[in-house]
Amino acid sequence: MARTFDYDLYVIGAGSGGVRAARLAAMSGAKVGIAEEYRVGGTCVVRGCVPKKFMVYASEFSSAFESAKGFGWSLGEATFDWPAFLRAKDIEIARLSGLYVTGLQNAGADIAHARAELQDAHTITLSDRDRALSAEKVLVASGGRPTLPEAPGIEYVITSEEAFQLPQLPKRILVVGGGYIAVEFAGIFKGLGVETTLIYRGANILRGFDNDVRSHLTMEMERRGIAIMTGCEHAKIEKTASGLKSTLTNGHEIETDIVMYCTGRSPHTKGLGLESAGVEINNKGAVVVDRYSKTNVDNIWAVGDVTDRINLTPVAIREGAAFSETEFYGRPTSFDHEMVASAVFSQPPVGAVGLTEADARHQYGKVDVYRAIFRPMKATFYGGSERMLMKLIVDPATDKLLGCHIVGPDAPEMIQMAAIALKMGATKHQWDSTCAVHPTAAEELVTMREKYVPPELGGMPS
């Protein structure tokens, strides 16, 4: 006789990937349960993308006030009320988390506000009840966690988890790391009037992005007054009467009120009982899955950051949706991880899709590069010195666009549109045949005709 289960699907983790998968599966008529140990919505809604974007919005006002003067505005002294911002942010996050709960309930999914642990491939225990439950299929969507390196005094630092709830805005902050979260928070704090220093042990911030993007953003962040030190890390962190003293490996000593580490995240696989269920984990702690997000155990799947593929919300959502399409709607679907655009909400922001110039040269040998660096119209009017960067990488053999990289206002909005063209395999000729929208910065993207040759390949420095 076939075994009966309490649930057709049990999902561990109600973040971006888990919620989408659970909701779709429940809408198919399946009996679905989902456990969340913290707050429904997960990292993105509660302590990631969404509250971070609110902080970016809040912090951008300071430069807007500055540029407003050039347009004839005179403003009184502007002050920022951090507790008032936090209250407004928390109300909006609670509203959004509530929408996720309602969406799950309306679809018919059971929500457990508890920690889930696998006892074996079909048995799950929840921290809020004694009886174990059984599920035919299990989806692990437990996300990721910030990681901290070993360093003397590391117990004094905060990560992004705490940054959203600081009781008061610091006067001075040291941000550690060169990834997108580090540069975003450096921009946020600087914009809110905090004296901001960023240190990174590598040679250049934003590893993995195009080299022109990396150097352009460094220049623009420094122009906005963020002190950036690369090639160094902490030797030690000590508590003093007035803050935290950081001694760096380059000999510098800096005192700040807060030290914030953004040095990476790792898949959240500890304590999930994955070993008891026989699920394979790689040497980075990520659940190993195939293109359908299936693990080595026949009834267990995993999506999102816990699989450490592309750690972005829309990717987790698409992986979760593909899983439910495949398993509950009979339509085998796998998410295509190629040409996924990404944005960095630094100030100025970055948008990127496709290959960097270095990767394209590595893969294709010869590539054509089109590059524009210019002062946007708004800056020329009010006398700002900031510059925008736009760059296209093209395969000369096929004329296909391989990469598009933008640094400057609205870059994340532009890259979403550019990603459609690149994903469709557009050629530079088709791209250029698109008429410009005027007056915009984006029109520069479709009017770049001159090939750019980098100085190291014999071109003129620009």
Ligand X SMILES: Cc1cc2nc3c(=O)[nH]c(=O)nc-3n(C[C@H](O)[C@H](O)[C@H](O)COP(=O)(O)OP(=O)(O)OC[C@H]3O[C@@H](n4cnc5c(N)ncnc54)[C@H](O)[C@@H]3O)c2cc1C
Residues contributing to the site for ligand X (CB under 6 A):
12-18, 35-38, 42-44, 48-49, 52, 115-116, 141-144, 160, 181, 268, 272, 304-306, 311-314, 316
CB of 97 or CB of 218, closer to ligand X = 97
Characterize the bridge pairing of strands 32-35 and 7-12. Answer: parallel
Q: Answer yes or no: 438 catalytic.
A: yes
Do residues 246 and 257 touch, judged by C-beta distance below 8 A?
no
Q: And the tokens for 264?
A: 């990476």
List 32's β-bridge partners, or say none: 9
Residue tagged active-site, from 216, 252, 429, 438: 438
CB of 233 to ligand X, least distance (A): 21
CB of 15 to ligand X, least distance (A): 2
CB of 135 to ligand X, least distance (A): 14
CB of 254 or CB of 303, closer to ligand X = 303
CB of 440 to ligand X, least distance (A): 23
Asked if omega into 412 is within 30° of 0 (cis), the reply is no
Do residues 392 and 370 touch, judged by C-beta distance below 8 A?
yes
Q: And the tokens for 344?
A: 């960095």
CA distance linking residue 345 with residue 217, whole number of Å: 11
CB of 20 or CB of 234, closer to ligand X = 20
CA distance linking residue 372 with residue 443, whole number of Å: 11
Closest CA to 205 of 180, 173, 222, 235: 180
Check residue 410 and give left, alpha or beta (phi > 0: left; psi -120 to 50: alpha).
left
Backbone angles phi, psi at 245, to 5 degrees: -100, 125
CB of 101 or CB of 426, closer to ligand X = 101
CB of 17 or CB of 243, closer to ligand X = 17
CB of 112 to ligand X, least distance (A): 8
Q: Any idea which residue has 């491939």 for tokens? A: 121
CB of 347 to ligand X, least distance (A): 14
CB of 47 to ligand X, least distance (A): 6
Q: Which residues contact 62 (CB under 8 A, 6 or more apart)?
A: 78, 80, 191, 192, 193
CB of 105 or CB of 363, closer to ligand X = 105
CB of 38 or CB of 61, closer to ligand X = 38
CA distance linking residue 360 with residue 233, whole number of Å: 31
| Identity of residue 275 | E
CB of 164 to ligand X, least distance (A): 8
CB of 198 to ligand X, least distance (A): 15
Would you call 410 exposed, middle or buried from its count of C-beta atoms within 10 A (0-12, 13-18, 19+)? middle
CB of 132 or CB of 453, closer to ligand X = 132
CB of 18 or CB of 348, closer to ligand X = 18
* Catalytic residue set: 438
